[in-house]
Amino acid sequence: MLTPNQIDIVKSTIPLLESAGSKITEHFYTRMFSHNPELKNIFNMSHQHSGRQSVALFNAVAAYARYVDDLPVLQAAVERIAHKHTSFNIRPEQYGIVGHHLIHTLKELAPDAFTLEVEDAWTAAYQQLADIFIQREEALYKENAQSLGGWEGPRRFRLETSKQESERVKSFIFIPVDQQPVVAYKPGQYVGIRVKPSHSEFEEIRQYSLSDASNGSSYRISVKQEKGEVDGLVSNFLHDELMVGDEVDLFAPAGDFYFTDRQQPVVLISAGVGITPMIATLETLARLQYKHPVSFLHACENDAQHSFKHRIKELSKHLSFSAHTWYNQSQDDHSVAVNGLHTGLMSLEAIQSELPVSAGDFYLCGPVAFMAFIKKQLLELGVRSEQIHYEVFGPHADL
């Protein structure tokens, strides 16, 4: 437990953290990877190049300092991060490495302000946070391992089949090499996959939403092929190099974003490859023959990039269902919907009468800017914030 004096000291460093900004985390990652390069086998290095990981870590450190005396405020963030950590197979000993480099980063960037008393306070604060994560992650590992078909750590899977879903999205179905059952998951959750691309010096771990209803025997992910050697390192490997019969390591399903059956209308809203957790949810609802209205709203660039278009029509036969799609680029210049197809950016005002504004759950997935744009529209229509649930690919960001 932190002493009241240590809490005061940590909170007093908030202005120092804010003035340094993401320089703290940039320095931290440079330091850590130079001393412990083996961690490059765990961290997503493309997020290092983009700066997204540094920003996310800085925001997390600053939030912890701000609420170090009111930790329940951070419960949702802890749950989200703990799930993500299990998909990387993060272990207690790695918290010691991270803590060492974080404390030394603060000392090196602010040697005058970071006195021995401040160092002791931050060391205690970091250990408190690490213990929270270690305990929660241990519970998640244990829960998975003790479930039917569950496991802990990496498990070997074989690519059984693949299928092109659209111009840039391809589905991959994996079955376990040991031919034993696989643990069930909730629609919306993701799985961690570890591969060794031919152009990478290190092993690479990525998280991809599971894109099918849980079946106890296989996992399907649907991956957009990204452009560029950095951002597209793993997706290009999966699309161009991974062959049927090849093996990969998977980590057990995780994620705190998933469909929760509240026996009320459901609205699934996605853009681009954000459709993947939504199609998993739709597959699940169809299998359950869900009795309440389901709306499926999707935005993508054009018809060629519209993933699962035909499958969605098939699933609609099993539900009280409505669908609207927005193509940013279209051969037809119509702003009024034709068979549920619109041109331009997604606009909810035109279909407001179809939406369960006061008594529905709205699930969002796509680029952060898209979700912020849609959340703003929903709030303006009268949807309450607690009705809106969302998933961010990569480091978390608030809408």
Of 198, 227, 254, the domain-final residue:
254
The pLDDT value recorded for residue 221 is 98
Quick check: 180 pLDDT over 60? Answer: yes
Quick check: 333 pLDDT over 60? Answer: no
Q: Which residues contact 182 (CB under 8 A, 6 or more apart)?
A: 149, 176, 216, 217, 218, 219
Of 146, 162, 191, the domain-final residue:
146
103 and 19 share one domain: yes
Of 254, 274, 302, the domain-final residue:
254
Instruction: Quote the mean pLDDT of the chain.
Output: 91
52 and 94 share one domain: yes
Determine if residue 206 is labeled as part of a ligand binding site: yes
Percent share of the chain, pLDDT over 70: 92
Determine if residue 190 is labeled as part of a ligand binding site: yes
Determine if residue 30 is labeled as part of a ligand binding site: no
134 and 14 share one domain: yes
Which CATH number do you get for residue 235? 2.40.30.10
The pLDDT value recorded for residue 338 is 62
Tell whether 233 is covered by a domain.
Answer: yes
pLDDT digits (tens, 9 = 90+) for 291-304: 999 999 999 999 99
The pLDDT value recorded for residue 284 is 97
Which CATH number do you get for residue 377? 3.40.50.80
Tell whether 261 is covered by a domain.
Answer: no
Q: What is the pTM of this model?
A: 0.91
Tell whether 397 is covered by a domain.
Answer: no
Quick check: 259 pLDDT over 90? Answer: yes
Tell me the average pLDDT across 269-274: 97
Q: Which residues contact 116 (CB under 8 A, 6 or more apart)?
A: none
Determine if residue 324 is labeled as part of a ligand binding site: no
Tell whether 259 is covered by a domain.
Answer: no
The pair of structure tokens assigned to 375 is 């959340």
The pLDDT value recorded for residue 370 is 96
The pLDDT value recorded for residue 335 is 47
Q: Name the band, by pLDDT with cuts 50, 70 and 90, for residue 336.
A: very low
195 and 104 share one domain: no
Measure the CA angle with vertex 61, ends 58 and 63; round to 5°: 105
Tell whether 167 is covered by a domain.
Answer: yes
30 and 71 share one domain: yes
Active site residues: 95, 137
Tell me the average pLDDT across 244-266: 97
Whole-angstrom Cα distance, residue 393 to residue 395? 7
Tell whether 371 is covered by a domain.
Answer: yes
Measure the CA angle with vertex 155, ends 97 and 251; round to 5°: 55
19 and 75 share one domain: yes
Please give the tally of structural domains in the chain: 3
Candidates 200, 283, 218, 262; CA nearest to 387 is 262
Determine if residue 220 is labeled as part of a ligand binding site: no
Tell whether 13 is covered by a domain.
Answer: yes
Tell me the average pLDDT across 118-131: 94
Candidates 314, 311, 252, 249; CA nearest to 276 is 311
Q: Are 361 and 265 in contact (CB under 8 A)?
A: yes
The pLDDT value recorded for residue 24 is 86
Tell whether 398 is covered by a domain.
Answer: no
214 and 270 share one domain: no
Domain residues for 179?
Answer: 154-254
Which one is predicted more confidently, 176 or 76?
176
45 and 169 share one domain: no
Residue with tokens 């607690």: 386
